[in-house]
Structures are given as structure tokens and as C-alpha cells.
């Protein structure tokens, strides 16, 4: 969607996790590298743990050690 005064780019901040930004976007990182995505929304990593930085890879999620935490799908 074009970024106009009538339709400004929508950015969503949550309590935790990534910053959601309507795409397409071009992101310049601190080291000068440029990442481009034409996805309808992109999730920008805020925790800096992502292996796909600047994109979120869900590395911000809370971790549990074996034997603690709820049972979940064996994916």
C-alpha cells in the first residue's frame, strides 16, 4: 500500500516481540547493510537475538528447560 498522508504506514508496537511495519520496506542496519522486503507486513527484530536480523525469527520467545513449562506440540 502506498505511503501517503491519507494512508500513513502503519506500525504496531507490542509488549514484547517484534515491531510490525507495513511493507514493502527497505531497512538500513547499523553496519550499513540494507535489507529489503515486499511482504505485506514485516516483523522487525527488537531483541537483537534473531539469526535473520533485522527480521524477527521468534528468538525473543521465553525459553524453558526440559521438564518445566507446559506440554506443547512435538514439532
Partner 1 sequence: MSPHRTGPSLPRARGVLSAGVTGYLRDEGALPDPDAARNADPYGDDLQLALYVCYELHYRGFDGVRPELEWDPPLLAVRAAMEDRFLTALRHDAPVESSLDEVLDGLLVEPVRGTGVSWFLQDRGELRHLRAYAAQRSLYHLKEADPHAWVLPRLSGRAKAGMAAIEYDEFGGGRADRVHAQLFADLMTDLGLDTTYGRYLDEGCAPMLTLVNLMSLFGLHRRLRGALVGHFAAVEITSSPASRRLADAMKRTGAGPAAEFFYTEHVEADAVHEQVVRRDVIGGLLEDEPGLAADITFGITATSFVEDRLGDRLLTDWQA
How many other C-beta atoms lie within 10 A of the C-beta of residue 42?
A: 21
- Residue 43 as a binder of partner 1 (CB under 8 A): the answer is yes
For residues 27 and 46, what is the distance between their CA atoms, to the nearest angstrom?
13
- Residue 3 as a binder of partner 1 (CB under 8 A): the answer is no
- Residue 39 as a binder of partner 1 (CB under 8 A): the answer is yes
Binding mask 12-31 for partner 1 (x = CB under 8 A): x-x--xx-x-----------
DSSP strand pairing (11-12 vs 34-37): unpaired
- Closest to 17 (Cα-Cα) out of 52, 51, 53, 57: 57
> Which residues of this chain interact with partner 1, rule CB under 8 A?
12, 14, 17-18, 20, 38-43, 51-52, 55-58, 61-66, 69-75
Amino acid at each position: 500500500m502506498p505511503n501517503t498522508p491519507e494512508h500513513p504506514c502503519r506500525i504496531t508496537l507490542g509488549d514484547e516481540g517484534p515491531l510490525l511495519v507495513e511493507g514493502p520496506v527497505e531497512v538500513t542496519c547499523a553496519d550499513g547493510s540494507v535489507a529489503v522486503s515486499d511482504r505485506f507486513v514485516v516483523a522487525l527484530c527488537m531483541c537483537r537475538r534473531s539469526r535473520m536480523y533485522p527480521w524477527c525469527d521468534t528468538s525473543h520467545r521465553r525459553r524453558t528447560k526440559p521438564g518445566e513449562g507446559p506440554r506443547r506440540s512435538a514439532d
